[in-house]
Amino acid sequence: MVSQKEYKDIHQKCLSYFEKAGIVLTQNEVEDLEVTDFGLDRVQEMGLQLVVYVNTERCCAKELVLLPRQTCPEHTHPPVGDSEGKEETFRCRQGTVYLYVPGSKTDEPKALPPADKKQYYTVWNEIVLKPGEQYTISPNTPHWFQGGEEGAVVSEFSTKSTDENDVFTDPEITRTNENEA
């Protein structure tokens, strides 16, 4: 759980990240900014902040904020019903994002998950995204990402987002919490 004090502190940081990135939000969006710790109670290490712009049956756009060295844990978006699963494009707007996907393991990766969670991180092909750079993740493909030393602002363009269907590698992450990724 994210305490009220922590939420306020992170919320304020996000607003300054958005301001620095030139991203304007409505008052409602500012108030609805989501902070999730994936139920792990270690939000500064493993968490994500986001504003959902639109999420219809067909497409979705969000603005994400990663705090410095904050990790969004490894997960996949599996097929659901008639849909082949969520497809995501991450476009870095500010800072640096280290994104990991299936493929040959990168030697000396620039990001590491918390040491006690390492067993739940199985893909190690590193994609480094700087402002203006982007990467598209196919459905049903494991991925995780971490903000660089200065954090990051990332636009996500995707098909419909149904967080309750996301599958996390870490069994401690349960869908009873309000997870968003």
User: How many whole angstroms separate alpha carbon 32 and alpha carbon 52?
Assistant: 9
Query: Applying CB under 8 A, which residues contact its own copies?
Result: 21-26, 29, 53-54, 56, 58-61, 87, 89, 91, 93-94, 131-134, 136, 155, 157-159
| Shortest separation between residue 145's beta carbon and its own copies, angstroms | 17
Nearer to its own copies, 4 or 27 (CB): 27
| Shortest separation between residue 158's beta carbon and its own copies, angstroms | 6
Nearer to its own copies, 49 or 71 (CB): 49
Check if the beta carbon of residue 160 is closer than 8 Å to that of residue 86.
yes
Nearer to its own copies, 18 or 38 (CB): 18
| Shortest separation between residue 26's beta carbon and its own copies, angstroms | 5
| Shortest separation between residue 58's beta carbon and its own copies, angstroms | 5
Nearer to its own copies, 86 or 117 (CB): 86
List the one residue out of 92, 73, 87 whose CA is nearest residue 144: 73
Contacts of 32 (CB under 8 A, 6+ apart): 51, 52
What is the full DSSP assignment across 86-133? --EEEEEEEEEEEEEESSSPPSS-S----GGGGGG----EEEEE-TT-
Neighbours of 90 (CB within 10 A): 22
